[in-house]
Chain A
Amino acid sequence: MYKKLRLLISLCLLWSLALAALAAPLRMATTTSTQNSGLLDILLPAFQKQTGIEVHVIAVGTGKALKMGRDGDVDVVMVHAVAAEEKFVADGFGTDRIQFMYNDFVIVGPNSDPAAIKGAQSVAEALQKISTSQARFISRGDDSGTHKKEQELWKAANIQPEGSWYIEAGQGMGKVLQMASELDGYSLTDRGTWLAYKGKVELSLLNEGDNKLSNPYGVIAVNPAKHPETNYADAMKLIDWIGSPTGQELIRDYRLHGEPLFIPLLLK
C-alpha cells in the first residue's frame, strides 16, 4: 500500500520536474492595447512554429510592463512609448531595441460632436475646440503609453487640461471608450482598440491623420548584464524574427475588422 503510494508520489514529482524542464517559455510583457489588437495571436504561433519557442504574454500597462523588465520578471518587452523606451535602454535595463511597426492614434467622440472638432485641420486645433467648449474628455489617467501621448498632445497645443470636463479615468483603453460612450465624452485612442470597440460604443472617429498621432512600437530585450537569469538568447530570436521579412509581412497583412492596422517599419 505505502509502496504504491510512494511510487505514485515519485512519479508525480518526476512528471512535474520534467514539465518544468521542458517548458521554459519566453516571457514577454506588453501593453493591453497590443494584446487587444489581436496581432500577437497571429505573430506568436507563427514564431513558435518556426522556432519551437513558446511565448507567454503578460499584458499590463506600459509603466508596469517596463517595470517588469527593470525587475527582471520578464525576458522581453513590447511597448509603444518612445521616450520611456529610450530611457529604459539608456538606464541599462534594456538592450537590442528595435522599432518594428507603427499604427496611429485617433480622437473619437460622441456622434453629435458637441465641440465640432470634425474637420479640424490638426490635432492641436481639435483639442483646442474641446477645451474651449468644455466638452467632456475622458483621459486614460493611468500613465500608459496612450496617456503619455495624450499629455504630449495637450502640451503641444499649449493647453493645461483641468476642470470638471477633464475626467481622469485610470483604466484601460477599452473601459475608457465605454466611459466616453456612456458619458458623451471625447477620448484619444489607439486605432486598434477603436476598431475592436467601434460597433459596441456610441462614438465616432472625429480626428485622424496628423503625423503627431503616429504610434511607433518597440521591442526590447531585457539586458542580461543586469539580469543574467533571463532568457536572453530566445529573446533575441524573437526580436530578430519580428524584424525579419516573415514577421514584417505578417504585420503588413494583418487585418482587424477588415481594416489594416499596423504598418511595418523594417520591410525593405
Chain B
Amino acid sequence: MESLSAASYQALYLLFTGDSALWTIIGISFSVSVRALLYAAPFGILTAFLLAYFSFPGRRLLVSVFNTALSIPAVVVGLTLYILLSKAGPLGDWRLLFTQDAMILGQIFLCFPLLVAMAHSALQASDRRAWETALTLGASPLRALLTILHETRFGLIGALVASFGRIIAEVGSSMMLGGNILNYTRNIPTAIALETSKGSFAEGIALGLVLLSLALFLNILLGQVQGKGEVIQ
C-alpha cells in the first residue's frame, strides 16, 4: 500500500514547486468563494440587523427558518438550483448551469443562513443603547446601522469567517452546479473528490493540506479577533 507519508511528501512537493494545475484549482476556489461571500455579506448582515433590531410579524418564524436552513445539506441546495437552472427548468434561459456564476449562486445560498444566524446572534447581543445613542446624536438610520456594525465588528467578522469556511470546503453543490470543469469550475473540494476517485492520493492530499492550513489560519485569525474583542469589553 502506498504509504500516507509518501503521498504527503509528494503533495508538499507539488505545492511548493508551484504545480500550475494545482494552483489554478486553488485560485478558482478562492475567487469563487470570495465573490460568493461578497455578494452574500451585505444582504445577510442587513437581514440579521432587521431581525435583531425590529419586530415585525413573522420575525420569529424567519429566525427559525434561518436556523433550520443551517442544516440543509449542500447537495440539496445544489439539486434545487440545478433543477431551476437546467435547460428544462424555469431559469434555463439564463444558461448558467456549469459556470462559475452557478457555483457562486449555490455558495451564496449555502452561506446565507449561517451568515444570518451568526450575525443575528452577534447583533442581538449588541447594546440597543448604541442604536439610540447614534440616532439621538443626529445620525441617519443608515449611519446608525453602520455604527452598530462597527460596534459589533468582532462578532460579524466571526460570522464572515465561519461562512467562508463553510463554502470554501463545500463539495456537493459546487460539483452539481459547476460540473468540475478543468480550469474553469474545478475548485479544491471537487478536485479532491476527483483525485480520490482516480486513486491519485497525492494531489488529493496536497489540496487537502491547502484547505487544512486555510482552516487553521482562519481559526487563528478568528481567535485573535475575538480575543481582542474580549479585552476591550
Considering the complex, which residues of chain A in the window 188-246 have a beta carbon less than 8 Å from any beta carbon of chain B?
202
Contact between A63 and B199, CB atoms less than 8 A apart: yes
Tell whether, in the assembled complex, residue B197 and residue A142 are in contact, meaning their CB atoms are under 8 Å apart.
yes
User: Chain B: interface secondary structure?
Assistant: loop
Chain B neighbourhood of A182, CB < 8 A: 86-87, 97-98
Pairwise interchain contact A63-B198, C-beta atoms closer than 8 A: yes
Quote the shortest CB–CB distance from A72 to chain B (angstroms): 7
Chain B residues 76-105 with CB under 8 Å of chain A are 86-87, 97-98
Residues from chain B with a CB closer than 8 A to the CB of A179 are: 98, 179
A96 to B86 Cα, complex, angstroms: 46
Q: For B1, what are the chain A residues with a Cβ–Cβ distance below 8 Å?
A: 70-72
Say if the beta carbon of B190 comes within 8 Å of chain A.
yes
Range of interface residues on chain B? 20 to 34
Residues A170 and B182 in contact, CB atoms below 8 Å apart: yes
B130 to chain A, nearest CB (A): 50
A interface footprint on B1-15 (CB within 8 Å = 1, 0 otherwise): 110000000000000
Give the distance in Å from the alpha carbon of A234 to the alpha carbon of B82 in the complex.
43
Does B186 make an interface contact (CB < 8 A)?
yes
Q: Are A64 and B196 also in contact (CB < 8 A) when A71-B2, A182-B97, A182-B98 are?
A: yes
Interface residue B175 (Cβ < 8 Å from any Cβ of A): yes
Closest-CB distance, A126 to chain B (whole angstroms): 23
In Å, the complex CA distance between A67 and B200 comes to 9
- Residue in A72, A171, A202 whose beta carbon sits within 8 Å of that of B179 in the complex: A171
Partner of B182, one of A63, A68, A168, A183: A168
Question: Min CB distance, A175 to chain B, in Å?
Answer: 7
Residue numbers in B under 8 Å from A168 (CB-CB): 181-183
A interface majority secondary structure: mixed
Chain A 53-73 interface mask (CB, 8 Å, partner B; 1/0)? 000000011011011101110
Within 8 A of A (CB), among B145-204: 175, 179-184, 186, 190-191, 194, 196-200
> Shortest distance in angstroms between B173's beta carbon and chain A's nearest beta carbon?
14
Which residues of the partner chain B approach A142 to less than 8 Å between Cβ atoms?
A: 194, 197-198
- Contacts between chains A and B (CB distance < 8 A), count: 60
B180→A64 contact, CB < 8 A: no
Docked pose: A63 CA to B175 CA in angstroms: 20
Complex alpha-carbon distance, A61 and B181, angstroms: 17
Query: Smallest CB–CB gap between B230 and chain A, Å?
Result: 45
B180 in complex: contacting residue of A60, A68, A70, A169, CB < 8 Å: A169
Checking A61, A70, A183 against B197 with a beta-carbon cut-off of 8 angstroms, the contacting residue is: A61
Chain A residues near B191 (CB-CB < 8 A): 170
- Residues on the A chain within 8 Å of B183, using CB: 168
CA distance A68 to B181 in the complex (A): 26
Complexed CA–CA distance, A70 and B1 (Å) = 7
Bound CA–CA A141/B87 (angstroms): 23
**Does A181 touch B at the CB level, under 8 Å?**
yes
Which residue of chain A lies nearest to B183 when distances are taken between CB atoms in the complex? A168
Let me know if A64 and B197 touch, CB within 8 A: yes
Q: How far is the CA of A202 from the CA of B97 in the complex (A)?
A: 15
Q: Which of B94-140 contact A (CB under 8 A)?
A: 97-98
Decide: B199 and A170 in contact? CB cutoff 8 A.
Answer: no
**A61 CA / B200 CA spacing, docked (Å):** 11
Nearest CB of chain B from residue A225's CB, rounded to whole Å: 15
When chains A and B are docked, how far (Å) is the Cα of A164 from the Cα of B106?
Answer: 24
Interface membership of A167, Cβ < 8 A: yes
Residues 19-72 of B at the A interface (beta carbon under 8 Å):
none
- A63→B197 contact, CB < 8 A: yes
**By the criterion CB–CB under 8 Å, are B198 and A175 in contact?**
no
- A183 with B98: CB separation less than 8 A: yes
Bound Cα distance A241, B98 (Å): 44
Q: Which residues of B contact A113 (CB under 8 A)?
A: none
**Contacts of A37-88 to chain B: CB distance below 8 A:** 60-61, 63-64, 66-68, 70-72
A-B pairs with lowest CB-CB distance, top 5: A67-B199, A168-B182, A170-B180, A61-B197, A63-B198
A–B pairs, 29, beta carbons within 8 Å? A60-B197, A61-B197, A63-B199, A63-B200, A64-B196, A64-B197, A64-B198, A64-B199, A67-B199, A70-B1, A71-B1, A71-B2, A72-B1, A141-B180, A142-B198, A143-B198, A143-B200, A167-B182, A168-B182, A169-B179, A169-B181, A170-B181, A170-B182, A170-B194, A171-B175, A179-B98, A179-B179, A182-B86, A182-B98
Q: Other than A68-B199, A143-B200, A170-B182, give 16 A-B pairs with Cβ distance below 8 A.
A: A63-B197, A63-B198, A63-B199, A64-B196, A64-B199, A141-B180, A168-B183, A170-B186, A170-B190, A171-B175, A171-B179, A179-B98, A182-B86, A182-B87, A183-B98, A202-B87
